[in-house]
Amino acid sequence: MTVVRTRIAPSPTGDPHVGTAYVALFNYCFARQHGGQFLLRIEDTDQVRSTRESEAAILRSLKWLGLTWDEGPDVGGPHGPYRQSERSAIYRAHADALIEKGHAFRCFCTPQRLDEVRKAQLAAQQTPGYDGHCAHLSATESAARAAAGETHVVRMKVPREGVCQIQDLLRGPIEIEWAQVDMQVLLKSDGLPTYHLANVVDDHLMGITHVLRGEEWISSAPKHLLLYGYFGWQAPQLCHLPLLRNPDKSKLSKRKNPTSIVYYERMGFLPEALLNYLGMMAWSMPDEREKFTLEEMVAHFDLSRVSLGGPVFDQAKLSWLNGRWIRESLTPQQFGERVAQWALNADYLGRITPLVQGRVERLSDLGAMTSFFFQGLIEPNPAELTVKGLDADGVRRALQWVSWRVEDTTPFTRDTLEPALRETAELLGLKTKDFLRVLFVTFTGKPVSTPLFETMELLGRDLCRARLRHAQTLLGLMTSKEDKKWKAELEAAEKALAEKKLAAAAAAVAPETPTL
């Protein structure tokens, strides 16, 4: 009898997402309910965006929720390595095998040519996609050009006629015309695989029997099934789960809703409650009760009880459920222990005390001075969200520029935040003191507080992002038109500043003109 094996394969390119936890939960429950195994694999082939910091945060957050895996980069296993960046030779060998069998080809097209083809297709109201220009190169010419060092990618061949039928465990048969499927890049010019090749190769070599993933991957299923056929492998059974939605039914995104698991941990949600809520998103217990444990979900798990309607991630409903867990499942002693684990622990307090010790005269001063460290969202006075020299829209734009800087600053530490935000003041043409004042109000609720950059590091990216968004909500959120305009203005300001610094550097090293 085949042992059920499922997996979760997050990309370490940002904060640990509640959507990752949602998909991980369903894979975990399916595997455990069938007495099978659950694996964790890190898909880190995006060398520019992937970080070990993000990987560590994902692993820690999933463990905080109570999800554990049988194999993974931290626990090992017989099918490793479990980081795709450590499996490059495996993917290259499989790409070469596809070329040898005639199922894939080297593509030498330049980005410029591909852009021209795309523009022409759009102008002709055609579905944009690769036009097969290099698919008919002879094996001899293709090998010779590659041996000569000509830049290329490896693409898969895709039929141009007929229909691909996908058997989905939730949705039944799904049909997609092959003409709608692009000749996907499998191996990039740097020799690293795209998601599609790595996904198929890893799932096969790791013995994955069932793939439960988000419905956004339905359109990629034909490519994956085709690759399984090209390799002569049995494809795993596919199940595409409904996407989590914002209250307005759009796809859950951090632009409209906090999506980081770390944010909900910092806000004081219990891991049991958050996991319980994620389980409710697209599934229900046989008796329809809303509060249940992970063990109860595993015991009763059945894919037939998964609803295909778009589940809405409602923070108010999550807060209500979290309150039930606090009141009904914790003794007073356990509640005190949870509070201590959350924020009154030695590590967190030990990072706060150096920021305030030189400012207090009595221990009782600590409450008012540090309360914002123990809150989720704060309520700054909108009248204090001002910057000298800026009108109301100018302040809104400034806070949005800060939001983009907060998002991009890695690692999120005092040493990286200070130069990034001081430069933002320079880009805005503001005095640093005037600019930082509004940030004090945004992050602490006070015009003057503990050192700003150390405070931001301690609060963390997720809480800083949430407080920034809350301040922006009080002043008026950015419109889509402003989004484009302000991004263009930021890029122009960054370019002008870079040119200014370059000119200053050149002037500093230029030889002095001799005087006669």
Q: Which residues are catalytic?
A: 254
The number of angstroms, rounded, from the C-alpha of 221 to the middle of its chain's C-alpha atoms is 21
Q: Are strands 172-177 and 163-168 parallel, antiparallel or unpaired?
A: antiparallel
- The CA distance from 421 to 156, in Å, is 45
First to last CA, the chain: 95
- The CA distance from 462 to 15, in Å, is 8
- The CA distance from 65 to 122, in Å, is 45
- The CA distance from 18 to 264, in Å, is 9
Q: Which residues pair with residue 5 across a beta bridge? A: 37
Residue 479 DSSP symbol: P
Distances (CA, A) of 451 to 149, 307, 382, 443, 469: 53, 49, 22, 11, 21
Residue pair 277/22 in contact by the 8 Å Cβ criterion: no
- Radius of gyration of the chain, Cα coordinates, nearest whole angstrom: 27
Q: Are strands 37-40 and 104-107 parallel, antiparallel or unpaired?
A: unpaired
Residue pair 441/380 in contact by the 8 Å Cβ criterion: yes
- The CA distance from 236 to 226, in Å, is 13
> Would you state the structure tokens that stand for residue 325, as one six-digit string?
């867990």
- The CA distance from 493 to 109, in Å, is 34
DSSP 278-333: HHHTTB--TT--S---HHHHHHH--GGGB--S--B--HHHHHHHHHHHHHHH--HH
